[in-house]
Amino acid sequence: MSGRTHHGLEIPADLARIGQVRKFATQVMTRYRIPKRAADEILLALSELVQNAVEHGAHGHEDATVRVRMAFDAGSVVFEVEDSFPSEQTAVELRRRLAEAGLPDDLESERGRGLFLVQAMMDRVEVVPLAQGGVVVRGEKKIVRRAR
């Protein structure tokens, strides 16, 4: 994420804190005048990945945290969600799930659409394993600004 303006937030791994991430991201994207549609898509993808990090990456670790970083340049927004705890959600498993992301077989299910939505809304998604365990999931959204 070099060569860009960076912003970061670290939260306890608690689903109740996802609203804090959304508020942080909204404030930062407003500052950079990210168009509403792109900002909405980024917020949805970011929320989904933070929820995954809490539920799968940090699950069972009482003092676990999730780090969120956002970087901006003239043409894109890049965000990262990091959980630094070894878990059942290894980088290999998460990469496989991203590659196979699609709608769940049971369309009535309340779960199972998250990675499909992230893949559909972002221009690029990648999973980076951490040496100490855990993963960083990086998403990128190209920003098209309309001339006024």
Question: Is residue 64 packed enough to be buried (19+ CB in 10 Å), middle (13-18) or exposed (0-12)?
Answer: buried
Going by C-alpha positions, the residue among 81, 99, 78, 94 that lies closest to residue 9 is 81
| pLDDT tens column, 53-107 | 888 776 667 788 899 999 998 899 999 999 877 555 565 565 566 556 554 554 4
Model pLDDT, residue 107? 47
Predicted local confidence at residue 41, as pLDDT:
96
How far, in Å, CA of 99 to CA of 104, rounded?
14
β-pair partners for 6: 71
Q: Select from 142, 1, 144 the least CA-distant residue to 68.
A: 1
Q: Which domains does the chain have, with CATH numbers?
A: 5-142 (3.30.565.10)
Distance CA 88, CA 75 (A): 35
Read off the pTM.
0.81
β-sheet bridge partners, residue 129: 135
Closest-CA residue to 29 (of 12, 17, 46): 46
CA angle at residue 57 from 47 to 121, to 5 degrees?
Answer: 30
